[in-house]
Structure 1
Amino acid sequence: IADLQGVGAAWVDRQSAAGYLVMRAWLRCKQVDLNAAFAHEKFLGTHDAVAAAVLDGEVDVGATFAHFDPDADPTAARPAAAGWGDAAVHIIGSAGPIPSDIIAANRHLSKTARTVVQQALVELADPDLATAARQLLRADSFIAPTKKHLDAIQEILDNLEESPGR
């Protein structure tokens, strides 16, 4: 990451955790001057578009997702799934793990209602709900969140920009 000086970057969008926010915060944790690092930046809307821009040479670097097998040898560093598919890329940094998307409830919703919804999602016993979750959220399963889920990323979260981007 020390070579990040005046490069072109592709991002998913300003609200994307893996495709923008967390990677920029991680770079800040590593003392990278974001203004000096990026000569130009593009927001391309999807992880596929970011990967294509890097692979086509349109930009020098891009931020996308990568799912690493937690049981694999960390020195192997080949993700189980990634925004670039099977293409040969050079990974210059990995931030995370980033907790997956969440389903949040209004704080005024009763504890009973929250518990019923959470239990239905975690158990996915209803086949129609399981199908809908897979189609709408691309989720194979849900877990109940704990503080531990955020512990691994807390330092990065502390370095989120107040007003990201230029």
Structure 2
Amino acid sequence: MEEKVLHNPKIEDLSETKLVGFRVLCDSEQYLNEIPKAAQLLNERMNEIQQVTNSSVQYGAFVVDNYSETEDGYWICVQVNEYEDIPDDMVYLTIPPQRYAVGKHNGANYSIRDTYARLHAWIEKNGYERQLDKWHLERYHSWNNKDNLIIELLDTITES
């Protein structure tokens, strides 16, 4: 059996990130179906969002251990320079400056847990600690086919 490895993991510090898009809130087993639908809707309505920094990249945002209803769910968004004339049925979210361990996932959405498991092992091996109560990001470079995604997984960390 071929061993799956995490290729070229890295550490990345991001400044404040402003996001506009849709919040997906459903039963946990439905996210694999609902996130691609929201990503497609966001893509179709991109022209309604002002100040988009890069329309070819979408962001997923979530808190692993959310302790409030306002943090529950998954946000699928695009990054903006500033909030301006946000459509009524869209949401906005400001992610504070954070440090991330970054790994790349190429493949189906249902296999993303395997990539996360390898990233989490790399984090521990390299002396970092995951911050489960902070915002985590997924940077989508390809989202049109849920069986062939290209996503950078950004797991929030601190040095342990």
Relative to total residues, which structure has the larger helix share, 1 or 2?
Answer: 1
Please report the TM-score for the alignment, with normalisation by the length of structure 2.
Answer: 0.24
Q: Which has the higher contact order (CA 8 A, sep 6+)?
A: 2
Please report the TM-score for the alignment, with normalisation by the length of structure 1.
Answer: 0.24
Relative to total residues, which structure has the larger strand share, 1 or 2?
Answer: 2
Larger radius of gyration: 1
